Structure 1
Amino acid sequence: MFEVHTFDPKTLSWWFDQLDNIDLDPPYQRRGKLWSDRDRAFLIDSILNGYDVPKVYVADFAFGRAQLNTSGKQYAVIDGKQRLGAIFDFFSNKLRLADNFEWTVNPELRLGGLSYNDLLQNHPKVASRFANFNLSVMRVITDDEGKINELFVRLNRSKPLTGAEVRNAMGGIVPQLIRDLCAHRFFATRIKFSTERRQDQNAAAKLLLVEFRGNPVGTQKPNIDRFVDEGIKAQAGTEEFARAASRCIEVLSRMADIFSERDPLLSSAGPLPVLYWFIRETPPEKDKLIRSFLVKFAKERRDNKLLAKVGGRNVDNELALYDQLDRSTDNQGSIEGRVDILRRRFK
């Protein structure tokens, strides 16, 4: 079953009253906080000044509990999370009107910088205009997880979704395993790079891919997408994928013990497949030596670059090769070459 209907007209205040019954962060969604406060305030400006606001799509689980309804709430946002988040934050006084806000109905009113509570107390007509604005919402009724995922991807096709965001909305076992890996304390506490656009899931997908293949393979987007497709086609025969994830978790546990909290060595996601395979192939009894080795190795690379820049005679060609390979970070040969260099220098 898959049906899309226009929701009966409901005001913003009605939707705010439903806040506890709305899952704003289902698995297929983008992560929040992508809009700046300026963008969010501009949406409130548009509502108060009567401009059109794009449709919001919500899954309605009132007609049966779909597999995708992991939160147990009646509604889950498919498209429009940033809009609803801005609206709810304005109601909650966590967001204010822009300082240069002008209400076209009465430009003489000085409303810039005011919160919703300020409007209620001093300008109730303006507050009422916001609260009673009818948001255009589409109700999606389905018991098919894949249909909701497909709708999310289609609605966002023209938007700059990252590969990880699209991949996260796909079906099969692999996206769920990737999310499980990202819940590991390594990703939760050790990495230092941004995760707002699911960079952690992209990195986790690469680690799961090389573990599943059993050797360092190319981790370019087409390879990861093909891997996700394999998981979809596998259907019942997913044990091999689950075993690879278990092995991956074992290595991530070692990495969590090796690296420190928000480790500067993990400021970029690019080297993770190299570090993962290097640590995977190193005996666990050597784990206590790995971080100090990597710190020393990073310093040697920096010093070697400076030496090469000034035309020094004692340039380390192996370190120069590592830097050259590092430019093609997802290439199979690059990953294998860097792992080999790390192994040799570690010994």
Structure 2
Amino acid sequence: MRRQPTTQQITWFLDLERNDQLDLNPPYQRKSVWSPKDRRFFLDTIFRNYPTPPIFIHRTIDDNGFATYHVVDGKQRLETILNFAKNKIAIDANFGDINYNGKKFNDLNAEQKRKFWDYTLVVDFIEAVDGANIDQVFDRVNRNSINLQPQELRHARFNGWFINETENESEDDFW
């Protein structure tokens, strides 16, 4: 098995979808599980240009030379991108910028659309692997996914002197 990390812009995935080359539902893939809130949060990530985890893709080529790109990991993110581009979902109404609040793709101006299209995703291509091993890749990528607890999320968002002092005090033998 070989891995080939690279980057791709959203337009690349949209082109694959248009050409019927993107397989979001290979046999090992789970169903759609993201809530509308999760999808809006991911759109927020894109428009604020925050990084996201890699998308894992397994490319196969049939006997006619037609390539299909099977999504090993990243289905929820790609579904969100595709559904937004098809005007099916909107940016959160409380995005914090009146130029984006509650807008669907068709509501965006040319510059905003370009910002969406140009967003870069890390893509890890999985090559030279058979069906049994690709199942192992899916299992390994998803096995150690542990959601952060609410307190861990609060700590990440609101870190600073007070939080650090509170944590230090809580470790004191007095308590």
The TM-score with structure 2 as length reference comes to: 0.76
What secondary structure sits across from 1:78 in the alignment? Answer: strand
Larger Rg: 1
Paired residue for 1:140, among 116, 120, 126?
A: 126
Instruction: Give me the whole-angstrom Cα distance separating, in 2, the residues matched to 1:143 and 1:135.
Output: 23
For residue 245 of structure 1, what is the aligned residue in structure 2?
none
For residue 116 of structure 1, what is the aligned residue in structure 2?
105
How far 1:6 sits from its partner (Å)? 1.2
Instruction: Give me the whole-angstrom Cα distance separating, in 1, the residues matched to 2:78 and 2:45.
Output: 14
How far 1:127 sits from its partner (Å)? 1.4
Any residues of structure 2 matched to 1:238-317 within 5 Å, and which?
A: none
RMSD value, Cα: 1.7
Matched, 1:30 2:33: no
Instruction: Give me the whole-angstrom Cα distance separating, in 2, the residues matched to 1:117 and 1:25.
Output: 27
For residue 95 of structure 1, what is the aligned residue in structure 2?
89
Paired residue for 1:130, among 95, 116, 120?
A: 116
Instruction: Give me the whole-angstrom Cα distance separating, in 2, the residues matched to 1:44 and 1:147.
Output: 32
Deviations 1:234-269 (A, max 9, x none): xxxxxxxxxxxxxxxxxxxxxxxxxxxxxxxxxxxx
Higher relative contact order (CA 8 A, sep 6+): 2
Instruction: Give me the whole-angstrom Cα distance separating, in 1, the residues matched to 2:76 and 2:136.
Output: 19
Stretches of structure 1 lacking an aligned partner (at least 5 in a row): 66-71, 161-347
How far 1:73 sits from its partner (Å)? 5.5
For residue 50 of structure 1, what is the aligned residue in structure 2?
49
For residue 85 of structure 1, what is the aligned residue in structure 2?
79
Paired residue for 2:142, among 152, 156, 168?
A: 156
Instruction: Give me the whole-angstrom Cα distance separating, in 1, the residues matched to 2:89 and 2:128.
Output: 34
Runs of 4+ that moved beyond 4 A: none
Instruction: Give me the whole-angstrom Cα distance separating, in 1, the residues matched to 2:67 and 2:80.
Output: 20
Instruction: Give me the whole-angstrom Cα distance separating, in 2, the residues matched to 1:143 and 1:30.
Output: 20
The 8 Å contact of residues 22 and 73 in structure 1, kept in 2 or not, is answered as: no
Larger % of strand: which?
2
How far 1:26 sits from its partner (Å)? 0.5
Stretches of structure 2 lacking an aligned partner (at least 5 in a row): 147-175
What secondary structure sits across from 1:74 in the alignment? Answer: strand
Instruction: Give me the whole-angstrom Cα distance separating, in 2, the residues matched to 1:30 and 1:142.
Output: 23
What secondary structure sits across from 2:87 in the alignment? Answer: coil
The 8 Å contact of residues 59 and 67 in structure 2, kept in 1 or not, is answered as: no
Instruction: Give me the whole-angstrom Cα distance separating, in 1, the residues matched to 2:106 and 2:123.
Output: 25
What percent identity do the matched residue pairs reach? 32
The 8 Å contact of residues 29 and 72 in structure 2, kept in 1 or not, is answered as: yes
The 8 Å contact of residues 59 and 127 in structure 2, kept in 1 or not, is answered as: yes
The code of the aligned residue for 2:22 comes to I
How far 1:29 sits from its partner (Å)? 0.4
Larger % of helix: which?
1
The 8 Å contact of residues 46 and 119 in structure 2, kept in 1 or not, is answered as: yes
How far 1:159 sits from its partner (Å)? 2.9
How far 1:91 sits from its partner (Å)? 0.5
Mean CA deviation greater in 75-84 or 109-118 = 109-118
The TM-score with structure 1 as length reference comes to: 0.39
